[in-house]
Amino acid sequence: MSLYIDVISIFPEAFIGPLNFSIVKRAQQLGHIVVNIFNPRDFTEDKYRKVDDYPYGGGRGMVLKPEPIFRAVEYIKELRGGGKTILLSPQGIPLTQHLVEELSRENNLILICGHYEGVDERVALYLADLEISIGDYVLSGGEIPAMVIIDAISRMFPQVIDSEVVKEESFCRGIFDYPQYTRPYDFRGYKVPEVLLSGNHKRIELYRKKEALRKTLERRPDLIGKAKLTEIDIEILQELFDEIARR
């Protein structure tokens, strides 16, 4: 059974490239996801196909009108028999791997891409089931966040990527991935850690666990408390805390 992802965007051409290569393309070819782009201009009722207007109360820029977006969502829900409606918004909850996994289990997703100065607040209040943000920064619109969500969801299905590989990726366990190296061994004097050449798989596994935890602790310590840690992970963390204390 396919997951239908319907995107509402005034710039449908922005999705032509990202939807047609690599993992997202494979997920579509295997039938795990079906992506369609709907232009809210097609749901307007005036001859100019107007989708934006000046904000009440004054201010700079234009705001996307509610009518075309409501009509587009209603049309899609009738077409699909429902759908979880998501507004891509800087005010939304952060996109996390856990949320991606939840979304991948839905039957139908509707992604609303804002643009200009945003979307009429009635879309958020009375139409969207959820608002999602991909980070604390400002983008030109919701198209890139929609692509991020589609890409992240595509990786969740069997045959798209090996399930064991997915389990080992950053954030799937709640911590960063371990550092990776390839040939040459010596590049401009920067050498690959000797343990990776040892052939001792237990030592290599322990090294990788430690470096993954070290990187997470240094860059995103807030993730440690939420991570799925094993007893070995906890022992390694204690070693890392002891190292920090000795500095």
CATH architecture, range 3-163: 3-Layer(aba) Sandwich (3.40)
Q: Parse the chain into domains and list their residue ranges.
A: 3-163, 186-246
Q: What was the pLDDT predicted at 167?
A: 57
* CATH 1.10.1270.20, applies to 186-246: yes
* Cα 126 from Cα 219, distance rounded (Å): 38
Provide the 3-class DSSP secondary structure of residue 186.
strand
Please say whether the beta carbons of 87 and 110 come within 8 A.
no
Q: What was the pLDDT predicted at 168?
A: 56
* Cα 10 from Cα 42, distance rounded (Å): 10
* Cα 7 from Cα 111, distance rounded (Å): 5
Q: What was the pLDDT predicted at 171?
A: 65
Which is nearest to 147 in space by CA: 246, 1, 3, 9?
9
Q: What is the mean pLDDT of each run of 10 residues along the chain (247 residues)?
A: 97 96 96 98 96 94 97 98 97 96 98 94 98 95 98 95 60 84 96 97 97 96 92 96 91
Please say whether the beta carbons of 27 and 159 come within 8 A.
no
Q: What was the pLDDT predicted at 226?
A: 87
Q: What was the pLDDT predicted at 233?
A: 96
Q: What was the pLDDT predicted at 174?
A: 83
